[in-house]
Amino acid sequence: MSPAKEKAKKNSDVAQAEKLSAAKKKIVSQLGRIIVGQDKAIEELLIALFSGGHCLLVGVPGLAKTLMLSSLARILDLDFSRIQFTPDLMPSDITGSDILQEDPATRERVFKFVPGPVFSNLVLADEINRTPPKTQSALLQAMQEKQVSASGKTRSLPLPFFVMATQNPIEHEGTFPLPEAQLDRFFLQISLDYPSSQEERRIVIETTGSQDIQLEKVLSAGEVLKLQDVVRKVPVPDSVVDFAVALARNTRPDKEAPDFVRKWVSWGAGPRASQSLILGAKARALLQGRLAVSEEDVRRIAKPILRHRVVLAFQAEAEGVSVDGVIDRLLESRS
């Protein structure tokens, strides 16, 4: 590539990076018209979105998890589908199945594949832990490879493709824990907290009136794909890569790990966590209008990236130690 073309390409990438920062402000502004508070959750959601990753949202009922995701799909002009996970849901209810149809003219009967709700840009897996692992596993190939194998054929899913799953942390009766293999495919886990007193007051006022809020489209599906490509092109200093890799490795209870990790952790994060830490740090830097990735970006996203990939030992549960507490201590040890 000639120097002139290389310079033009670099300028184009810089322009796209600036577009991402500007788009973030517009998206947050539009979501703010419907969602009160949850600024941290929205930031993490956008980091996952522009990193091309999937999200697991964990929070008690009434925190606008479903509304947040459906509103985001409208703002980004993405096809949106919702799957209500229930104990009797079957894998074919997600991926689709063959249906016997008769040609009106020839009377010939043929099988035709009818795509399931997974064939959308943004798929909301509502209360994903209410269905058995057999059905949960129907999402594994879609989340990892962005394609579905059904009826002997492999079909590509529309791009961009995101799975945003919700989970209620306080109900355990009639639920099924997500397999570790599926948890690892979620780019990050967002924990939603109760709103503050002032935020809750505003929620009550705004949701008990007659106001009909219309959301404006900020980006298209094609633009989201271009911005995801720009995120991957952001350079990262070796020191930041080393920090992210060391952080992920220190969650594993082996001889390299700190004593408290060996005491409190049964299983640590795998290599996908290291990849996610760097990719998420790139997205966060661009969303904040910076072309340079810092160690602080990795620290900021460490909890949502790692919390669902670390399995605590019985000793930690007995001592009242949480996953977030372990991650906090790891970050402190690397200060």
Condensed to tens digits (0 to 9), the pLDDT of residues 5-33 reads 555 556 666 787 788 888 889 998 888 88
Evaluate if residue 325 carries a pLDDT over 60: yes
Evaluate if residue 302 carries a pLDDT over 60: yes
Top-confidence residue, 85 or 211: 85
Confidence at residue 9, expressed as pLDDT on a 0 to 100 scale: 58
Pairing, β 96-102 against β 186-191: unpaired
Condensed to tens digits (0 to 9), the pLDDT of residues 52-74 reads 999 999 887 777 788 888 888 88
Condensed to tens digits (0 to 9), the pLDDT of residues 179-226 reads 787 888 899 999 888 888 888 888 888 777 777 778 888 888 899 999
Confidence at residue 35, expressed as pLDDT on a 0 to 100 scale: 83
Evaluate if residue 236 carries a pLDDT over 60: yes
Burial of 309 from C-beta contacts in 10 A (0-12 / 13-18 / 19+): buried
Evaluate if residue 171 carries a pLDDT over 80: no
CA-wise closest residue to 48 among 203, 272, 280: 280
d(CA 122, CA 81): 7
Query: Which pLDDT band, with edges at 50, 70 and 90, does 123 fall under?
Result: very high
Confidence at residue 271, expressed as pLDDT on a 0 to 100 scale: 92
Residue 169 preceded by cis peptide, ω within 30: no
Condensed to tens digits (0 to 9), the pLDDT of residues 263-293 reads 999 989 999 999 999 999 999 999 998 888 9
Region 144-165: mean pLDDT is 88
Q: What are the angstrom distances between the C-alpha of 332 and each of 86, 146, 182?
A: 41, 37, 29
Query: Which pLDDT band, with edges at 50, 70 and 90, does 3 fall under?
Result: low
Condensed to tens digits (0 to 9), the pLDDT of residues 246-260 reads 999 999 998 888 899
Condensed to tens digits (0 to 9), the pLDDT of residues 304-322 reads 999 999 999 999 888 999 9
Query: Which pLDDT band, with edges at 50, 70 and 90, does 109 fall under?
Result: confident
Q: Look at the block and give the residue holding tokens 């810089």.
A: 14
Confidence at residue 300, expressed as pLDDT on a 0 to 100 scale: 95
Q: Is 297 helix (H, G, I), strand (E, B) or coil?
A: helix
Q: Is 186 helix (H, G, I), strand (E, B) or coil?
A: strand
Say which CATH topology domain 234-335 has. Answer: Helicase, Ruva Protein; domain 3 (1.10.8)
Confidence at residue 322, expressed as pLDDT on a 0 to 100 scale: 92
Q: What are the angstrom distances between the C-alpha of 249 and each of 90, 142, 252, 305, 335?
A: 37, 27, 6, 13, 16
Query: Which pLDDT band, with edges at 50, 70 and 90, does 175 fall under?
Result: confident
Q: Is residue 160 within 8 Å of 114, Cβ to Cβ?
A: no
